[in-house]
Amino acid sequence: MSELRPPTRLKSVALRKAKSAAFTGLLWLTGAIAMVPLVLIIGYVLIKGTPVMSGAFFTQTAPPPGMPGGGMAQAFMGTGLIVGIGTLFSVPLGVLTAVYLSEYGRGRLATVVRFVAEILLSTPSIVAGAFIWAVVVTTMHSFSAIAGSIALTVLMWPIITRATEETLRLVPNDLREAALALGVPRWKMVLRIVIPTAGSGILTAVMLAVARGFGETAPILLTSLGNDFINTNPLQPTDAVPLRIYNYAQSAFTQWQSLAWGGAVSLLAAVLVLSIGARILSDRQQRRLG
Amino acid sequence: MSEVSQSPRTEHDAETPVRRRLRIGDSVLSGTTVLISVGLVALLAALLWVLEQGAAPAFMKYGLNFFTSRQWDPVNDRFGALPYIYGTVVTSTLAILSALPISVGLALLLNEVRSRLLRNPLTVLVDLLAAIPSVVYGLWGLFVLAPFLNRYLAPALGATLGKLPILSALFVPTPAVGNMLNAGIILAIMIIPIITAVTREVIATVPHDLREAAMALGATRYEAIRMAVLPHARSGIVGATMLGLGRALGETIAVSMLIGNGLGISASLLAPGYTIPAIIANEFREATSTGMQHSALLALALVLVAIALFLAAASRLLVRRSERMGS
């Protein structure tokens, strides 16, 4: 019982407080540790990549090995093509799945669909690539932009579904009931009331999915292959910005390496703008509906 | 009676063309959404089935040897995946060990900080870390992080932990630029936002009463967290870790840029290694269609996705249970 004697207790209170303060300090330290890579990555990419930015970088195609100049025009076009088609595929699929989950889904099927959407978020992106290679590339006997788009769809569909369902659930039930009470049929209520009310939330979901699509390298590697020249035919092998960065970063030529940093600036800018924009939109949406 | 037939009620029941069109609209929309939702489930089934079909020849031919053999020899059509499995396990373990304490600390911090002015930007920054594409991590890792680690961290670890009896095997220096330590560290940075986000969600559902009760009994902040918050969030944190592990196992690009892609199995973390996603990324396009190479790579993809989906499912269940306990 000696530790219950007043002097010892007083000391231990001081000790406990010190321990708690040290712990709080430790928490702040973890915050600092996590921020260091973010600051360093953005800083390095800006410092090394910005000087590469020029008209030529966006208008010229891949330079021959060891030659100065050149750009990534073919990669920008390719990323636009692949992600554009992927978005066209995945937005209707993702939104309609979310509409099912939030407006119609009851019982076991809804539980299963929601669970599958959830775990599909964890599909390793390289596996999506291998899957679409086996299904699309082997059937078409060619790598192609469209195969890349389908691989991205596998990844983007569950992202859009999850985020859209969340935002559809924010739509107040009063609105639904008011519409139904006025004799509006259910489908019209969903299309004219629920979806427009959730509009900016759905846009947020799409922006997040597109940001993910821009950055994916592994699935594109196995499905679109890459291309040194501008290609606008979805059935042909096509280049993409992340793919170019991946290849150039590991090359021995300094010109290629600096082009990789230039690609990284453009990619990072696009992804961060989309993510921050999505964040602002969803905050505003939550304030409006919540 | 003819007047009655004009009453609203009868008119309402009649199959007027307008009403039929409205009903058709309903079954069209609900039918389409059901169909597409079933399509999502079918997508998962198709993914597993296609990979299984592709993997079957390799599994048939090599059996369990596929997992235990270290020989990966496309020229002689012999495939054993042990080096890749080993590299994947080592880098993921390293990533989890480094990321977990930081992520839990960060999640607690985001929950403890009362000032909105600090908390909101901090949350956004953590989310941004998750948004950075893996190829950008890889590029930065290759040109900035890896040289730094090779120059400072590796010798420091060798001089400290490397002097201890058993741990010394982990830090035998090699001249390699790419190694498993660097890959593990870039992976840790990449999964911190994932583990943090889920842990934070779980911690947020711990009832305030518990914490306040502890505080009212005289507990310090540390003791309240230690005794009231963490035990309540434990299964959720395990779930968050599993989700992070799943991501770490499947991460391809950044790891393949940093790990050195060496085929040996070395105890030293400073030696190059190779992972399952990295070998798929590097060999898939050049694989010949005659031999077993594609099948072996698809077999690896199947193993990878099976583990990742299992971890995701288990994580989901654990997190949900933890959240239900809280509410």
Q: What is the pLDDT of residues B170-208, one digit of tens each?
A: 888 888 889 999 999 999 999 999 999 999 999 998 888
- Whether B15 shows a pLDDT value over 80: the answer reads no
Pick from A164-173, B151-160, B284-293: least confident: B284-293
CA distance A28 to A34: 10
B77-99 pLDDT, tens digit each: 899 999 999 999 999 999 999 99
Residues 6 or more apart in contact with residue B283 via CB below 8 angstroms: B74, B293, B297
Hey, where are the domains in chain A?
Answer: 77-289
How confident is residue A290, by pLDDT bands cut at 50, 70 and 90? low
Residues 6 or more apart in contact with residue B149 via CB below 8 angstroms: B181, B182, B185
Contact A245 B135 (CB under 8 A): yes
- Whether B8 shows a pLDDT value over 90: the answer reads no
Among partner residues A33, A127, A257, which is closest to B305 by beta-carbon distance? Answer: A127
Contact B124 A29 (CB under 8 A): no
**B300 HSE (CA, 13 A, CB side):** 32
Find the mean pLDDT for residues B210-233.
89
pTM score of the predicted model = 0.92
Q: Which CATH superfamily is domain B65-326 in?
A: MetI-like (1.10.3720.10)
Task: Phi first, then psi: give them for residue A225, nearest 5 degrees.
Answer: 75, -45
Find out whether A117 and B291 touch, Cβ atoms under 8 Å.
no
CA distance A213 to B131: 11
Residue B79, helix vs strand vs coil? strand
Residue A195, helix vs strand vs coil? helix
Å between B49 CA and nearest CA of chain A: 10
| pLDDT score of B172 | 86
Nearest to B104 by CA among B196, B188, B10, B29: B196
| pLDDT score of B11 | 47
Which residues is A238 bridged to in the sheet?
Answer: A225
Scan for tokens 């901090």, then name that residue: B122
Positive or negative, the CA dihedral A30, A32, A35, A41 is negative
Q: Where are the beta strands (DSSP E) in chain B?
A: 72-73, 78-79
B197 touches chain A (CB under 8 A): no
| pLDDT score of A107 | 87
| pLDDT score of A84 | 98
CA distance B265 to A61: 41
Contact A268 B133 (CB under 8 A): yes
B312 touches chain A (CB under 8 A): yes
Å between B171 CA and nearest CA of chain A: 24
Looking at chain A, the number of H-run helices and the number of E-run strands are 14, 0
Suggest the residue from B126, B139, B319 to mutate for an interface test with chain A (most A CBs closer than 10 A).
B139
Among partner residues A20, A214, A250, which is closest to B222 by beta-carbon distance? Answer: A20
Q: What is the CATH number of domain A77-289?
A: 1.10.3720.10
B144 alpha carbon, distance to own chain's centre? 24
Å between B107 CA and nearest CA of chain A: 9
Å between B157 CA and nearest CA of chain A: 19
CA distance A209 to A211: 5
Scan for tokens 């969903």, then name that residue: A190
Suggest the residue from A24, A187, A256 to mutate for an interface test with chain B (most B CBs closer than 10 A).
A187
Chain B residues whose beta carbon lies within 8 Å of the beta carbon of residue A124: 249-252, 277, 304-305, 308
Find out whether A177 and A203 touch, Cβ atoms under 8 Å.
no
Residues 6 or more apart in contact with residue B255 via CB below 8 angstroms: B91, B138, B183, B186, B187, B275, B277, B278
Suggest the residue from A17, A42, A46, A122 to mutate for an interface test with chain B (most B CBs closer than 10 A).
A122
CA distance B227 to B225: 6
- Whether B7 shows a pLDDT value over 80: the answer reads no
Residue B324, helix vs strand vs coil? helix
Q: Say which DSSP state B214 is in.
A: H
| pLDDT score of B4 | 39
Find out whether B106 and B192 touch, Cβ atoms under 8 Å.
yes
What Cα–Cα distance (Å) separates residue B169 from each residue in A1, A11, B133, B166, B186? 47, 44, 34, 6, 22
Contact B124 A31 (CB under 8 A): no
**B residues 41-60 closer than 8 Å to A (CB):** 41, 43-44, 46-47, 50-51, 53-54
Q: Return the amino acid letter for A154.
A: V
Chain B residues whose beta carbon lies within 8 Å of the beta carbon of residue A282: none
Å between B1 CA and nearest CA of chain A: 27
